[in-house]
Amino acid sequence: MTRATEPEIDQAANCLGEPGKVAPSIATTAKERKFALAPRRTARSRPAGPAARIPPLDSRAMSPSQTQSKALLRRATKSIPGGVNSPVRAYGSVAGTPPFIVSAKGSKIHDADGNTFIDYVGSWGPMILGHAHPAVIRAVKKAASAGTSFGAPTEGEIEIAEKVCAALPSVQQVRFVSSGTEATMSAIRLARGATGRKKILKFEGCYHGHSDGLLVGAGSGVATLGIPGSPGVPEEFTKLTIQLPFNDLSAVAGAFKHHGDDLACVIVEPVAGNMGCVPPGPGFLEGLREICDRHQTLLIFDEVMTGFRVAWGGAQCLYKVKPDLTCLGKVIGGGLPAAAYGGRRDLMKQIAPAGPVYQAGTLSGNPLAVAAGLVTLERLEQPGVYEKLAAKAERLATGIQKRADAIGVELTTTAVGGMFGLFFHPGPVRNFEDAKKASEQRFRKFFHAMLDEGIYLAPSPYEAAFVSLAHTRGDLSATLQAAEIALEKASKVR
């Protein structure tokens, strides 16, 4: 197997010339090599208890019981579709009952049955400082004491906007919204308004939220559930969306030959995180920039996941490619609902009330999310933060890979900054078609074995995993020991 090529990165400085801000990317695939496996340590079990009885933070083991979670799921299905408020939480692709979470602190989450897990979901990315970080909690409490929402401008909105614009060289102005779906939907509307064109180009397996034109070939929960699109999306909408394989510049060039004059924008996750973690191939992002420039098509980076996760300044800073528009979310809200889209001043001035392209939101820039986001960004701006995150993700990715190689399990692991992924596939994994070749049966066995050992991963083979600053060396060691046990079990699946 081949190793995915790393981008040429100066690790001593980021694109702003500041030290300690850029995290390298790594990708590892199975190789013939010897590895001395650490001795196994089985997880300690705790008796099930009521939701209020929270186990100590140094306990990582899972109780065999899920009595409370099963009861809560039965209750939830009576009033909530499928019992959950986002489909992937239902454990549909891995089977079983999702743990109902009652609290979290640092790198650990605790469920209603008294089980404690080391968490690599991190609320799907936002919890980069760890759960319930004291500075974030203090900021939110202080903001809430002054009022939870005003529907009017606040100074905090200016402060966080200034920080985002300073961090991302491509962003001169930014508009805050409440979700990543709002951000991508609004950025595409702006692209259409600015260019006068209707069609958009996206990549298979890249998830950009659930607005009508973007559910074509989406990854994430859509892929997890095996849904090709969605009822309720008119065919006329999907005809305006062209989808191509990720990391395939020749396909992009071909699409522009036929549709170039009609394409308002190309939207891409610069590091795909919704088909697992798939880095861009050498020259892919640069090639998109060049093709878009040639055809006066806007390039949108969906950095809802990668923004302030893989580097200070996001993937565009890591790979040194400037998009026209950027979508942000997750980390910038510090664990509260917040997202944004921004870009060149001439484009952003077309957004109402400065221009004719309409977008609005009742809770956009609400003071609680702004307070949490500001504190989070201030912590992330400190020197050395992204090196620490990258080292943790790399240790997990390479450690799991070595154990899989020693056991003889076909596995490909990847890591970029503070995110990583794994595929039960010999690799390389370059796009959604490659990702879909991975063994879902082996992933299911691995997932449940990890859960039994007290390790909480996303319940889907099509999701990235996230490390936080709160994950300790002990957490990583425990995770790798658990992975050895889980890989042994997965190896029995044929």
Catalytic residues: 207, 302, 330
**In Å, how far are 21, 311, 342 from 303, measured between CA atoms?**
17, 11, 11
Peptide bond into 428 cis (omega under 30): yes
Q: Rounded distance, CA 354 to CA 301, Å?
A: 23
Q: Rounded distance, CA 441 to CA 365, Å?
A: 42
Answer for the pair 87, 221: CB distance below 8 angstroms, yes or no: yes
- The rounded Cα 462 to chain-centroid distance in angstroms is 11
Task: State the sign of the Cα–Cα–Cα–Cα dihedral 293, 329, 392, 220.
Answer: negative
Long-range contacts of 170-173 (CB under 8 A, 24+ apart): 170/316, 170/322, 170/323, 170/324, 170/326, 170/343, 170/344, 171/326, 171/342, 171/343, 172/342, 172/343, 172/344, 172/345, 172/348, 173/342, 173/343, 173/345, 173/348, 173/349
Q: Rounded distance, CA 467 to CA 389, Å?
A: 7
